[in-house]
Amino acid sequence: MQLRTSIVAVSMALSGLAYAATPDATLTKELATQLQVHYAVVTNGLPAAQCGPLGADWASCYSANVTLTNSGPALNGKHWEIYFSSIRRILKLDTDQFTVTHLTGDLYRLQPTDKFQGFGAHASLTIPMTLEYWQISESDTMPRWFVRAGDAPAQIIANTNTEDLSQFVAPLGDNWKRTTDDANVLMNATNRYALYSQTPTLPAQASAARIIPAPLTQQLTGGEVTIAHGLQLKTSGLDKTSVAALEQRMAQLGVKGGGKAFPVSVKIDPAAVPEAARKAEGYALTITPQGATINGYDKAGAFYGVQSLLSLMQVSSTTTVPAMTVADAPRFDYRGYMVDIARNFHSKDAILRAIDQMAAYKLNKLHMHLSDDEGWRLQIPGLPELTDVGAKRCLDPSETRCLLPQLGQGPNTDTNGSGYLTRQDFVDILKYAQARQIDVIPEFDMPGHSRAAVVSMEARYKKLMAEGKTDAANEYRLVDPADTSYINTVQYYNRLSTLNPCLPSTLRFADKVMGEVAGMYKQAGVPLTTWHFGGDEAKNIFLDAGYAEQGGKETDGKGQVPAAHRDRPWAKSPVCQALVQAGKVEGMEHLPDYFATQVSALLPKYGIGNFQAWQDGLKNLPNAKSLSTPTRVNFWDTLYWGGADSAAKWSAKGYGVVISNPDYVYIDFPNEIDPKESGYYWGARSNPVKKIFTFAPENLPQNAETSVDRDGNAFEIKSGETAPRITGLSAQMWSEAIRTDAKMEYMIYPRMIAVAERAWHKAAWELPYQAGTTFKHGVTQHVDSKALNQDYAVFANALGEREIAKLDKAGVAYRLPMVGARVVDGKLSALAEFPGVPVQYSLDNGKSWQRYDAAHAPAVSDAAQVQVRTASPDGKRFGRASGLN
């Protein structure tokens, strides 16, 4: 047996060498190593007439150049193709040497025509493109362009194989605005300085008592309490796993325990909690020289009381904390963080690190987006294809082994485009979260955004049909093979991106997934409280294929095609037509809601008490009573497009409204207005920490006074007659442009801390809702801006002086803040976004760096040579450097 194995291995190795030496493989390698891709935006805001025969949805397009440079000898082969991701639809190429083909989603294929004459030695070819909408962020360009000749294995073009997009993407220069009406201000060192100057550096004692998130009531009783020997927890009522979680946090922060440590008595005693805080998750904390006492209303309250004590501690010096009394309870029952591991996979370790931080800042709902068009990320027993096929992306045109590549991952499965959580991984996550008072909410997006599931089940169907197992093949099939509807989704996927809600097999699939996931919760000993249906963007109207191929375009002036050329999803599905004709569904537009009611009806079977969906997934239901269980909606309308009124309507229908709107709490959007800051920006140009801190989730109209729309312009909201009932607040981290765990943490932190602040604590400057009140930035002055800025100053100082260093201790790859700087009287003056974060400067254009000290500010002889950056408190990482502008 051993000899046979060796012979087979040698044979495979020899055949691999032979294959590697084929002309196609040789050309593929030469193209991948010799070609260099350079991408440059030329002009945003082209006239509609230049947008190509299809036009664009909003008559908006831009031009870009792709330059292919051959760094070596001439390459004359023509039978090759380059694959790349483009999140903007390519409308046309202004060259006759190449053609471009849209495959699916953001995947395109570039091929030479007969007029292509080859790549000359050390020569360049530029391909002008026209693309839909605009590009104002470097991160819109995706990495890992790859090439193959013939049937040879594809290889990544070397200079695109990077997360540092500046290696092949040109700076945007003046192309950082959508349109001429864009009033945003590009951030640079000078205007950062002006902005950061509004947040003064406070004396250490001013933020020493600041618990994050802020408590309901807090009274300093005078003096400092010595805790030089650490803390000794004495708990009653907390389970061992929760105590272990608190001890882990203490160890993470360097807080010692032991016999001489400061005694901390922790128990559950609702009667000992002051009346104002006597509710779920509430607690009372008293700190005296003799010890600390924490009385929780319940287990979560006791746990959070300890977290508040730990919040006061400095990791560099934990010798004293202020004496005080605290009575505290949350403003919202639902304080969430949504992590998308479907578009790009993110590791179990990264999720566990996020759970640690959620617990520290009292966030209690981890909403896991586990499936989408681009990936299925949880192992489901009995349906192995979901992860064997749907959790992998590679260059397989048949999509029987994997999904096609998307989002800049390259042709192979060794990047974060591929991956999944095993059943045991998920059970471990559930246990870890429960010990930290966090409820995990699983989401499997249906009926739209379901391409990974549909393709996986089609692979299963083909395999079982080939084995002659017809009944088994159809058991979980998600498409009607007779459906000829043409659709093109928001992300440019075809009809395989939506499962068919009319098939009994589709409901069986949902039931199967729900049952298996419920079994994981049971194994973990954790209740499954909520099922998230997804439901978003199952769009109603799509462009007909034949019309598109004929070069048709919108004619009614509203971004719509003529009625004769419209398709609704499933409009040509016989099984769906039969449902409508039988009167079981009012019309095709009601099919997503029909399916939502069917899935909702499954919940009691598994003891699940709550249903949840993105708001548009339930838009045609008359009210929440249409569903079998209490239902929450994630509200995600932007306020400047009528979101305040929309939230009120959802509340009036009886839904619990979880504020999740992109213009304030999407933390995958850029941190500031700068093309080098990554993230999508369709709902807001940036969501910095202060904007999130300033957000008033219970009085949505108020935010029109304290912020602007995505183009930097003021907008007006007049309060409606009735305030919506807000159930909670959730931050969203969508991962299309976030391919690594490190980038995910860069986008999340420290913004998650500001989200936690608003989810837990209602600030005094948040106005009570009053019907008929008008708010507009730069016009009205209802909000006490002085109180708001003073509150933020204490928060920002606590963040910079204390919390950033704790993220270092936790091993989190957070975003280091930027630096504002200018030259004053010949000397450098510099400020970090959060006071207390170390600032460094260079006087020789980044060759050498020194710690900045305002008391000994360096003289500047050549401002053009000056650069500034922040450093992590532990000295291991550095922020993005900036020159003086």
**Cα-based distances in Å from 305 to 241, 285, 433:** 16, 6, 18
Indicate the burial class of 340 (C-beta count within 10 angstroms; 0-12, 13-18, 19 or more). Answer: buried
Please identify which residue in the block is written with the tokens 């986008």: 747
**Cα-based distances in Å from 408 to 32, 157, 160, 418, 705:** 16, 12, 9, 12, 39
Phi/psi-derived region of residue 38, left when phi > 0, alpha when psi is between -120 and 50, beta in every other case: beta
Q: 517 near 601, Cβ under 8 Å? A: no
**Cα-based distances in Å from 325 to 129, 208, 246:** 64, 14, 21
How far is Cα 468 from Cα 725, in angstroms, rounded to an integer? 55
* Chain-centroid distance, C-alpha 29: 35
Q: 417 near 406, Cβ under 8 Å? A: yes
> pLDDT confidence of 328, banded at 50, 70, 90?
very high
Instruction: Write down the pTM of the prediction.
Output: 0.94
Q: 365 near 336, Cβ under 8 Å? A: yes
Q: 675 near 182, Cβ under 8 Å? A: no
Please identify which residue in the block is written with the tokens 């009809």: 495
Query: Mean per-residue pLDDT for 782-791?
Result: 98
Query: Coil, helix or strand for 593?
Result: helix
Q: Residue 242's closest CA among 214, 268, 211? A: 268
How far is Cα 790 from Cα 796, in angstroms, rounded to an integer? 10
Indicate the burial class of 603 (C-beta count within 10 angstroms; 0-12, 13-18, 19 or more). Answer: buried
Type of residue found at 742: A
Q: Residue 296's closest CA among 269, 258, 327, 263? A: 269
Sign of CA dihedral 416, 41, 99, 150: negative
pLDDT per position as a tens digit, 629-686: 999 999 999 999 999 999 999 999 999 999 999 999 999 999 999 999 999 999 999 9
Strands (E), 400-495: 439-446
High-pLDDT (> 70) share of the chain, %: 94
How far is Cα 268 from Cα 421, in angstroms, rounded to an integer? 35
SS (H, E, C) 671-713: CCCCCCCCCCCCCCCCCCHHHHHHCCCCCHHHHHHHCCCCCCC
Strand ranges across the sheet with 882-883:
850-851, 839-842, 867-870, 882-883
pLDDT of residue 205: 87
In this structure, the number of other CB atoms found within 10 A of the CB of residue 516 comes to: 16
SS (H, E, C) 640-655: HHCHHHHHHHHHHCCC
Q: Could you tell me whether strands 217-226 and 320-328 are parallel, antiparallel, or unpaired per DSSP bridges? A: antiparallel
**List of residues 6+ apart from 313 with CB closer than 8 A:** 227, 253, 255, 321, 802
17: pLDDT strictly greater than 50: no
pLDDT per position as a tens digit, 748-781: 999 999 999 999 999 999 999 999 999 999 999 9
> pLDDT confidence of 709, banded at 50, 70, 90?
very high
Q: Residue 705's closest CA among 781, 632, 625, 616? A: 781
365: pLDDT strictly greater than 90: yes
**List of residues 6+ apart from 113 with CB closer than 8 A:** 96, 97, 98, 99
Query: Mean per-residue pLDDT for 594-599?
Result: 96
Is residue 518 within a helix (H) or strand (E), and if so which, with residue range? Answer: helix 504-524
423: pLDDT strictly greater than 60: yes
pLDDT of residue 316: 79
549: pLDDT strictly greater than 80: no
**Cα-based distances in Å from 724 to 230, 433, 645, 649, 656:** 45, 30, 9, 8, 9
Query: Mean per-residue pLDDT for 363-384?
Result: 98
Query: Mean per-residue pLDDT for 693-712?
Result: 98
How far is Cα 686 from Cα 286, in angstroms, rounded to an integer? 40
pLDDT per position as a tens digit, 238-288: 999 999 999 999 999 999 887 789 999 999 999 999 999 999 999 999 999
> pLDDT confidence of 537, banded at 50, 70, 90?
confident
Direct distance between the N- and C-terminal alpha carbons of the chain, in angstroms, rounded to an integer: 71
pLDDT of residue 55: 59
How far is Cα 871 from Cα 850, in angstroms, rounded to an integer? 10
Type of residue found at 44: N
**Cα-based distances in Å from 574 to 208, 477, 486, 502, 872:** 67, 15, 14, 9, 61
pLDDT of residue 539: 65
Q: Residue 69's closest CA among 220, 170, 1? A: 170
Identify any residues that bridge with 446 across adjacent strands, giving them in sequence order: 534
Q: 879 near 819, Cβ under 8 Å? A: yes
pLDDT of residue 8: 37
Which position among 385, 443, 537, 745 bears the catalytic label? Answer: 537
pLDDT of residue 558: 37
551: pLDDT strictly greater than 70: no
Query: Mean per-residue pLDDT for 279-301?
Result: 98
pLDDT of residue 58: 57
Q: 230 near 255, Cβ under 8 Å? A: yes
Q: Residue 390's closest CA among 338, 327, 342? A: 342
Indicate the burial class of 406 (C-beta count within 10 angstroms; 0-12, 13-18, 19 or more). Answer: buried
Q: Take residue 101 and report the two structure tokens written for it.
A: 């083909």
pLDDT per position as a tens digit, 463-514: 999 999 999 999 999 999 999 887 788 899 987 889 999 999 999 999 999 9
Q: 286 near 217, Cβ under 8 Å? A: no
257-271, 547-561, 597-611: the lowest-pLDDT one: 547-561
Query: Coil, helix or strand for 365?
Result: strand
SS (H, E, C) 277-305: HCCCCCEEEEEECCEEEEEECCHHHHHHH
Query: Coil, helix or strand for 606?
Result: helix
In this structure, the number of other CB atoms found within 10 A of the CB of residue 479 comes to: 22
pLDDT per position as a tens digit, 196-218: 999 999 998 889 999 999 999 99
In this structure, the number of other CB atoms found within 10 A of the CB of residue 349 comes to: 10
pLDDT per position as a tens digit, 807-853: 999 999 999 999 999 999 999 999 999 999 999 999 999 999 999 99
How far is Cα 677 from Cα 17, in angstroms, rounded to an integer? 44
Q: How confident is the prediction for the chain on average, in pLDDT?
A: 92
Is residue 661 within a helix (H) or strand (E), and if so which, with residue range? Answer: none
pLDDT per position as a tens digit, 129-154: 999 999 999 999 999 999 999 999 99
Query: Mean per-residue pLDDT for 94-109?
Result: 96
Sign of CA dihedral 265, 268, 271, 275: positive
Type of residue found at 330: P
pLDDT of residue 12: 39
Q: 377 near 345, Cβ under 8 Å? A: yes
The number of C-alpha atoms within 13 Å of 849 and in the hemisphere containing its C-beta is 16
Q: 183 near 294, Cβ under 8 Å? A: no
Q: Take residue 26 and report the two structure tokens written for it.
A: 């040789």
Q: Take residue 70 and report the two structure tokens written for it.
A: 């051959």
pLDDT of residue 75: 94
Q: Take residue 516 and report the two structure tokens written for it.
A: 């298996």
537 is catalytic: yes
Q: Take residue 836 and report the two structure tokens written for it.
A: 């207390």
2: pLDDT strictly greater than 80: no
Q: 794 near 202, Cβ under 8 Å? A: yes
> pLDDT confidence of 566, banded at 50, 70, 90?
low
**List of residues 6+ apart from 92 with CB closer than 8 A:** 52, 53, 129, 130
> pLDDT confidence of 48, banded at 50, 70, 90?
confident
How far is Cα 46 from Cα 134, in angstroms, rounded to an integer? 9
pLDDT of residue 20: 54
pLDDT of residue 318: 65
**List of residues 6+ apart from 248 with CB closer than 8 A:** 356
pLDDT of residue 555: 36
> pLDDT confidence of 367, banded at 50, 70, 90?
very high
Q: Could you tell me whether strands 35-46 and 61-70 are parallel, antiparallel, or unpaired per DSSP bridges? A: antiparallel
High-pLDDT (> 90) share of the chain, %: 86
pLDDT per position as a tens digit, 429-444: 999 999 999 999 999 9
Query: Coil, helix or strand for 483?
Result: coil
The number of C-alpha atoms within 13 Å of 168 and in the hemisphere containing its C-beta is 23
